[in-house]
Each structure stands twice: as structure tokens, then as C-alpha cells.
Structure 1
Amino acid sequence: MRSERNIMKLADHLNSKVSFQFVPLLNQQIIEQSLTARPTLAERNDRFNVYYQAILAYKAALFQGKRKGRSFLLNMQSAVVDHHRTFSQDLALELAKDCQLDLDMFVEDCDSDLAKQAFQTDQKLAAEMKVQQSSSAVIFNCSASQCGLLLNDVTYESLCDVCESQGVATKEMLMTEPTYPQNNQAASAGGDLHPHLHVL
């Protein structure tokens, strides 16, 4: 959850357009880290199924728009991490309602082949980019290179360091609170709709 918030904070502070996508990762290492020492096979399978259902719910929320999907993800993480709630279908429906999702569509999409395919695509993408930890990010400076930089610990400071080293922004600028022009003049000034920075 901290990683996602740091990425959103970075996007908020940069003057250039930032494209970011949260890719849920589910692998054996993540399951092992979430369990106590020497879990049984049944415990591993149960934990996998809970995480898998949570990811499918996130994917279903994304089908109704990126902002709603991100809101659902952050609310789900807050409920589970901050408020120590166990993920369940009831919690997913509660969060979907809070995010103003179409509930019938959400329920249908949670169990759809499309959500399952999206999960598989995400896992392939993570494997291709050598991502193995859940709090990782791959950063692309689209104006300079097609190669990405893998960060395994996504702190705001590490994101600022990457931006500075790539010539995207100075660390000093990113550490200050952003100022927003009226009527979003800065966003339309250049007319450039292509992102300069892409974060996965």
C-alpha cells in the first residue's frame, strides 16, 4: 500500500504526465511471507485462494475505470492492512459499493474469464520484468529509453532519486508540495498527451 501511495504522490508532484499501472503479483514467495513458520499445504492453498480472489476483485473494479479500480485497491488494502479485516466477498462488495461500482457488473466480472486472463497477463508481465517482490516498481522514462529500471523498495525518496537521475525532475522540486495553476493551464500548455514517465 505504501508503494502505491508513493507512486501516486510522485505523479501528483511531477509537472510532466506520468502513466502508472498497479500490477498485482502473486507467487510462492509472497504466500510464504504472509504465513507463519512451517505452514501446511492447506494453509498455503487457502492463502493463495484469498489473494487470488482479492486480485480478481481488483481486476473487476478496474474494468469499470482506472480511477475506480485504484480507489478499490487502496480501500481494500486499507481495510486489510490498517483495519485488520479479512478479505471476503462481503468485504469486496462493501468496498465496491463505497467506490460506486456497478455491483451487478462487479460480481459478474469477479468470476469472469476476462478477470482471470488479466491476472495471468499480469503474472507474465511481472515475470518478464523480473519482479518477484510485491512492493516493486519498474520505471520507464519514455522520452529517453525503452529500458525500465526495477526498484524493489519503492520509497518516495527512491522514486525521486530515479527521476533526478533520469533528468525528469530535481529531487528538491519533488520534495516540495506541488502548486497547481488555475484551470489546469499547465496540463494543456504543451498539448503533450504522451507520458514522460511510465511506472508499473
Structure 2
Amino acid sequence: MTLAPDIQQVTAFGSQPRRDSLRQAVFLDRDGVLIRDKHYLSAVAGIELLPGVIEALRALAPHFRLIMVTNQSGVARGLFSAARLAQIHDALLAQFAQQDVHLDALYCCPHHRDGTLASYTAACAWRKPQPGMLLHAIEKWALDPARCFMLGDQDSDMLAGQGAGMPSFMIGPEQAASKHAHARYADLGQAARAMLAHAG
């Protein structure tokens, strides 16, 4: 994982030929959607996949590009380094790969305007609720936003999806409902079934 010279940290895994025709994608927040939210996760040992995530991603993969988009201001706040964050993401991707699940890309914004590290202190256009990460992927793969979905557990995720012109689903318990979400689902598995019905 490398830090781009401007304001985004990006890891992209390329596209397989069989996926070149895909014009729809599922954008996935990390904490609370794919893994349990540990509040500034700073160690590989703390990665805990949420129940049903692998099955849901396997079901979605033939129909959608799978793109993780995550704010990680812990870097800007000095809670962990960019190198440690890269280790965590490499370990997460390895866990997915062991179960034959592969993301098309991972986009990560380590910046925050109130950070304590000068090199990461910025009002970043890629930090959700700004839609920068999503818009980059839409342009890169000529995606149709109306056929894409943003999944997250925070209002910032819903607003990012809204800003990119796509439906946004809140993942979490009933009290996690958001006025900015198009729908709410208890977990990724429930959301996947709804998206597959839409894709079909």
C-alpha cells in the first residue's frame, strides 16, 4: 500500500478480464460492515470478520465489483502509522483470499483536518462524507452510479453514496437507521440479498 503524492492512500488490485464489462459496484465501509468495529483498530490480531461476510461477498462478486472505502483518521491522529494500517489491510485481504474472496480495490483516506501529524492534516476530498473515493472508482471503471450501492454504518457513508449518486444502505441494528439511507439491513448478508434482487 502506498501513499499517493496528493491526499489519498490507495491500494488497487487491478481488474480481471472477465470483470471488464461490470458497470456496477458495491462500495463497502470497513468497520461495522466487513469487520467488527474496534474503534481505531491498530493491530492485525484485532481483525474480526463479521458473521456472513464471506458468503455475502462470494454471492455479490459475480455481479458487482467489490470496492472497500474506509476513513482511517487514526493515522492523522498519531494513533498508528500508515505502515501499520497497511499491515492490517494486507492481513484482511489475505483472510479474504484464503476463502477465495477478492476485492477489486481498496481506497483509504488517512487524513483529518484536526490531525496531530502535519503530513496527514488536511481537509481531504476523499474523506467520507465527501464522495471522492467513490467518484474515483466510478471514473476508473466507467461505473453506472444508479446501479451501484454504498454500504456503511455511519451517516458519513450514506452522504458519500448520496454525493456520488448511488443508493446507500445502512448496516446495523434498528437504532442505526439514518435519514440519509435508502434502506437499513441488519448485516451484509441481508443487504446482499436485496442488491442481488435489484441486479437481477
TM-score calculated relative to the size of structure 1: 0.30
Computing the radius of gyration from Cα coordinates, the structure with the larger value is 1
TM-score calculated relative to the size of structure 2: 0.30
Structure with the bigger percentage of helix: 1
Structure with the bigger percentage of strand: 2
